[in-house]
Chain A
């Protein structure tokens, strides 16, 4: 194992060294920074040209200049890493250090969302193969797969930011739009649940009426300007979550488990008011931890008491329910600052921004208010997260669908069915876990790619993460900056490959890494 890793790391260094030499020279020869003076009419042009040659060491041929750069990079091996300064006068390490958290903030949410939604939908389409739902999801994922992100961004900005903000000036949904939303929701929900034709239409009608009805209620209550879930909304969501979790983990037939789940949901609903006291105006991230801890602790207690034997299953169900059901309380708390947010000077009624990382002119009081600045961050994350999720989840849908379908045709699944296990157990225990195996490689590499940044997305949404740093390096003939990003990207990619290979040996018992 050790020898294997050492050999791989040795190879890694060789690959990185060679590729950085190549890309340094390609970049250095590809453009000429002095050409900016071509159209200049400045009087001290001669001095400025001399100054630039001196500062960028343009009198040293690029293959030699590479080694000047390499000296600082190799010093990193004994802790004196020096990647030089950018052309704008900042140390490269500092610039990259600032960009990584921003890229993380932008990309991590959408990556997780894309993985969760993508795999979920992929699995459902595999289970409901060749149904209307399968066909429409396949169609949608291929559609999204082929749309370029900048265009998705333009559309999202137009409809979800500009039009939505205009809508908020007079937030009334016309009945035909409510009905339309209802029908779409009905189609999706009935498609997922499936069942006989009669059942399908019943669910379709029910879901359509509920969604359209909810939109009408939102209309009447002026919900869009004063949003909130209230104890009722929290309750509905909590019990809904409980039912879904119980169904997935043990099946609704397990009465003890169901009791644990519902009791937890009841506890979270009742805790809504006490939690409001904890989540006060001056609360911070600690208060958020506190309410989650309380919910989860209560869930453990409930899980412990519903049954004397097999406590583990009940506790697991209750804890999962508690965690997910507490999220809406947090959401509701953010919604409570919405009217204040809407009216603030920095936002002046345009709550969904088309771009940016945060509102620039929050007052100190607003910035120190966890809920206010949190809501501001969420609002700025909505569009880029949605855009990134939409274009990347399609891949996961296709991968996981194919993977699960393959597993479902395996002999051991037939065995499981033959020995009388119910369908839920067959899928959740036997099929799903094995179907996830091939996805490991993709997931690890995608997480490494996260650091590389979303070059186009960051530009279109005005975020200053790794992607825009890379853009800046290319546009400015900033060799040091370019190499900084390149080195980080290549190290991570090579490392991710190694980790994926090692991980595969751990999760899949059929694979062993040879000495």
Chain B
């Protein structure tokens, strides 16, 4: 009985209280906060603040630390190499066949984010991590045969092969002169990047970074210069260990040694959560690059958010968990989904990779001589190659695979220039490759069949007379669709294609013959795949056409092409000369019917429409290249 009355009393009280709260709690909705944080999608894990080591060498690391370091150059969204004169200038000091020197000056009054002045001593580390000879002579290990103290990906390149001695520092430490034993092509790309060498020296001395003064930093910088010039093996090895291993930080927070986080870019790293995100805030001492756009709603914080799953990234954009989404392997479905989101701007641009198809004409470096219908330089082989290229359904690749993402896409007719540039038009019209874009595919296939019938009069769409073996990276659905289109269209021209898709096509896994198909095997007549571009160089694409080029996978050989390629790779040329040589190579490649570039892969960028100045850039760091222009 007792409990029942208790219940009744309670229910009366409860009803009253409920009614009371119902009226009392009606309040204003909280106002939405103004946004000052920009969250950028990173499709891969960010693992290191040093993207120059072999372990930390991922595009994701490089992209995330780009806003923290400014050097002499950067690429803009038109793939122009822009000189960053806020940081410094470079010029050719001496240009003779045996001595080529470049003078690098650093603009005064710049500071690292810890207040230490920036000067040319900060450029010296570049020599340590790119000169094989220095690493060897300083007792840090020969990079070609053992793991060096600075385990860098910079060895084995043009800088290391041609630099003479140590870079020369001026008396005031604001100018550095680097000497080479020959004129260097693309010398702008060899510019040393600044690194906070005082931090390296302090870290090697186990400094915790909490209480050092600018004087300590300057002393450390002087010590670095001394260790560098005297090749102090023991100290350099300690610094190499720090440089190679210690910048791989899983988590960054207030306990992290601030010496790792020193920046001269617009932002500096403040925190990182392993596998999840990295956060950067504005660097108040930033002077080393273009000035920030003046605005009422600046981007004060940048977050790189790691999302490896594409659908998850799209939904995160939709929920405003991220502000900028990029996809370098977009599908038509992605474009459709993104275009349907409100408050999101979708932009398609040309990506940093392209596909190319080549016909096997000669022996590769391993000496295996192909015997297929395309091998050699006889009239018949050339005609058959010509026929094959004519019947190649390139327009259909674009229509089926690229246009759904980028409606403005068209075929790529040369790989010596980006589509849409002036050089591109003059090279394609002069080389003759425009032939493959004129008229309809049906006409071209009919011409191809006519060429085949010169040698096999009974060949037609139903009776294939020429059997060719084709190889491609079969693991990708895109490549498989392309292969299917090729097989179908070439059949109409009398070609019977034996099609292999191999996940391992790039490696000579069996050391020559049979077993796993790869393009070192002599039986392949045709192969196609992609090439990615990470820099615009004078010698671009020549490695494909030169007879001993690193990317010549089809045995193409022509003495004139070799001469022109050498010139493009190692002579300092004028723009007109460059165009002439490139056109000449393209023309020879066309006259010999070696192969054809297919198309440039598109990149899809979608971003919160409230963010201004998001401009994707194809070959470097994608959207982050112009962080100073962003605002809400």
Q: A157 at interface (Cβ–Cβ under 8 A)?
A: yes
What residues on A are CB-neighbors of B562 within 8 Å?
none
**Binary B-proximity of A38-52 (CB < 8 A = 1, otherwise 0):** 111111111110111
| Minimum Cβ distance to chain A for residue B312 (Å) | 5
B276 touching A38 by the CB < 8 A rule? no
| Minimum Cβ distance to chain B for residue A37 (Å) | 7
What residues on B are CB-neighbors of A217 within 8 Å?
18, 22
Q: How many angstroms between the C-alpha atoms of A353 and B277 in the bound complex?
A: 14
Q: A423 at interface (Cβ–Cβ under 8 A)?
A: no
Q: A360 at interface (Cβ–Cβ under 8 A)?
A: yes
Q: B576 at interface (Cβ–Cβ under 8 A)?
A: no
What residues on A are CB-neighbors of B271 within 8 Å?
360
A89 touching B248 by the CB < 8 A rule? yes
B30 touching A342 by the CB < 8 A rule? yes
Q: What total of A-B pairs shows CB separation below 8 Å? A: 228
What residues on A are CB-neighbors of B115 within 8 Å?
none
- How many of B's residues come within 8 Å of A, CB to CB? 87
| Minimum Cβ distance to chain A for residue B353 (Å) | 7
**Binary A-proximity of B1-15 (CB < 8 A = 1, otherwise 0):** 011001100100010
Q: A382 at interface (Cβ–Cβ under 8 A)?
A: no
| Set A32, A89, A344, A461: member contacting B53, Cβ < 8 A | A89
| Set A38, A171, A343, A358: member contacting B273, Cβ < 8 A | A358
Q: Which A69-110 residues have a C-beta within 8 angstroms of B?
A: 85, 87-90, 94-95, 98
A460 touching B14 by the CB < 8 A rule? no
Q: Which of B300-308, B397-405, B620-628 is near enough to bind chain A?
A: B300-308
A357 touching B273 by the CB < 8 A rule? yes
What residues on A are CB-neighbors of B37 within 8 Å?
345-346, 361
Q: How many angstroms between the C-alpha atoms of A228 and B25 in the bound complex?
A: 10
Q: Which of A41, A236, A355 has the most B CB atoms < 10 Å from its CB?
A: A41
Q: A162 at interface (Cβ–Cβ under 8 A)?
A: yes
Q: For residue A36, which residue of chain B has the nearest CB?
A: B506
| Set A157, A232, A344, A361: member contacting B18, Cβ < 8 A | A232
Q: How many angstroms between the C-alpha atoms of A379 and B58 in the bound complex?
A: 32
**Binary A-proximity of B31-55 (CB < 8 A = 1, otherwise 0):** 1110111010000010110000111
A348 touching B33 by the CB < 8 A rule? yes
Q: B318 at interface (Cβ–Cβ under 8 A)?
A: yes
What residues on A are CB-neighbors of B153 within 8 Å?
44, 48, 51
Q: Which of B45, B271, B315 has the most A CB atoms < 10 Å from its CB?
A: B315
B319 touching A349 by the CB < 8 A rule? no
B306 touching A462 by the CB < 8 A rule? yes
| Set A87, A170, A258: member contacting B55, Cβ < 8 A | A87
A345 touching B56 by the CB < 8 A rule? no
B277 touching A356 by the CB < 8 A rule? yes
B156 touching A468 by the CB < 8 A rule? no
Q: B503 at interface (Cβ–Cβ under 8 A)?
A: yes
B507 touching A90 by the CB < 8 A rule? no
| Minimum Cβ distance to chain A for residue B560 (Å) | 22
Known: A39-B529, A41-B532, A88-B45. A162 touches B319 (CB 8 A): yes
B305 touching A356 by the CB < 8 A rule? yes
Q: A66 at interface (Cβ–Cβ under 8 A)?
A: no
Q: How many angstroms between the C-alpha atoms of A4 and B465 in the bound complex?
A: 72
What residues on B are CB-neighbors of A40 within 8 Å?
531-532
Q: For residue A347, which residue of chain B has the nearest CB?
A: B33
B14 touching A232 by the CB < 8 A rule? yes
What residues on B are CB-neighbors of A37 within 8 Å?
506
Q: A472 at interface (Cβ–Cβ under 8 A)?
A: yes
What residues on B are CB-neighbors of A259 within 8 Å?
2-3
Q: Which of A218-226, A297-305, A439-447 is near enough to bind chain B?
A: A218-226
Q: Which A219-267 residues have a C-beta within 8 angstroms of B?
A: 220-223, 225-226, 228, 230-232, 235-236, 239, 255, 258-259, 262, 266
| Set A35, A48, A356, A462: member contacting B156, Cβ < 8 A | A48
- How many of A's residues come within 8 Å of B, CB to CB? 87
What residues on B are CB-neighbors of A90 within 8 Å?
47, 248, 250
Q: A411 at interface (Cβ–Cβ under 8 A)?
A: no
Q: How many angstroms between the C-alpha atoms of A35 and B508 in the bound complex?
A: 10
A55 touching B320 by the CB < 8 A rule? no
Q: Which B305-363 residues have a C-beta within 8 angstroms of A?
A: 305-309, 311-312, 315-316, 318-321, 353
Q: B147 at interface (Cβ–Cβ under 8 A)?
A: yes
A360 touching B305 by the CB < 8 A rule? yes
Q: A54 at interface (Cβ–Cβ under 8 A)?
A: yes
Q: B509 at interface (Cβ–Cβ under 8 A)?
A: yes
Q: B112 at interface (Cβ–Cβ under 8 A)?
A: no
Q: A154 at interface (Cβ–Cβ under 8 A)?
A: yes
Q: For residue A258, which residue of chain B has the nearest CB?
A: B3
**Binary A-proximity of B500-537 (CB < 8 A = 1, otherwise 0):** 00011111010000000000000000000111111001
Q: Which of A44, A95, A350 has the most B CB atoms < 10 Å from its CB?
A: A44
| Minimum Cβ distance to chain B for residue A28 (Å) | 12
A150 touching B311 by the CB < 8 A rule? yes
Q: A173 at interface (Cβ–Cβ under 8 A)?
A: no
What residues on B are CB-neighbors of A162 within 8 Å?
315, 318-319
A39 touching B311 by the CB < 8 A rule? no
What residues on A are CB-neighbors of B248 within 8 Å?
88-90
Q: A34 at interface (Cβ–Cβ under 8 A)?
A: yes
**Binary B-proximity of A401-443 (CB < 8 A = 1, otherwise 0):** 0000000000000000000000000000000000000000000
What residues on A are CB-neighbors of B97 within 8 Å?
none
Q: A369 at interface (Cβ–Cβ under 8 A)?
A: no
What residues on A are CB-neighbors of B154 within 8 Å?
44
B17 touching A39 by the CB < 8 A rule? no
Q: B275 at interface (Cβ–Cβ under 8 A)?
A: yes
**Binary B-proximity of A457-474 (CB < 8 A = 1, otherwise 0):** 001111110001001100
Q: B550 at interface (Cβ–Cβ under 8 A)?
A: yes
What residues on B are CB-neighbors of A87 within 8 Å?
55
24 pairs, A vs B, C-beta closer than 8 Å: A31-B503, A32-B509, A35-B505, A38-B507, A39-B529, A41-B534, A41-B541, A44-B154, A47-B143, A50-B156, A51-B143, A54-B146, A88-B48, A89-B48, A98-B250, A157-B315, A217-B18, A221-B22, A236-B14, A239-B10, A348-B33, A354-B315, A462-B306, A464-B306
Complex A-B, nearest 10 residue pairs according to Cβ-Cβ distance, in ascending order = A47-B156, A464-B275, A38-B506, A89-B55, A44-B157, A44-B156, A232-B17, A360-B277, A89-B248, A221-B25
Q: Which B residues have a C-beta under 8 Å from some C-beta of A? A: 2-3, 6-7, 10, 14, 17-18, 21-22, 25-27, 29-33, 35-37, 39, 45, 47-48, 53-56, 58, 143-144, 146-147, 153-158, 244-245, 248, 250, 254, 271, 273-277, 279, 301, 303, 305-309, 311-312, 315-316, 318-321, 353, 473, 503-507, 509, 529-534, 537, 540-541, 543, 550-551
Q: Which A residues have a C-beta under 8 Å from some C-beta of B? A: 31-32, 34-35, 37-48, 50-52, 54-55, 85, 87-90, 94-95, 98, 150, 153-154, 157-158, 161-162, 165, 169-171, 217, 220-223, 225-226, 228, 230-232, 235-236, 239, 255, 258-259, 262, 266, 339, 342-346, 348-350, 352-358, 360-361, 364, 459-464, 468, 471-472
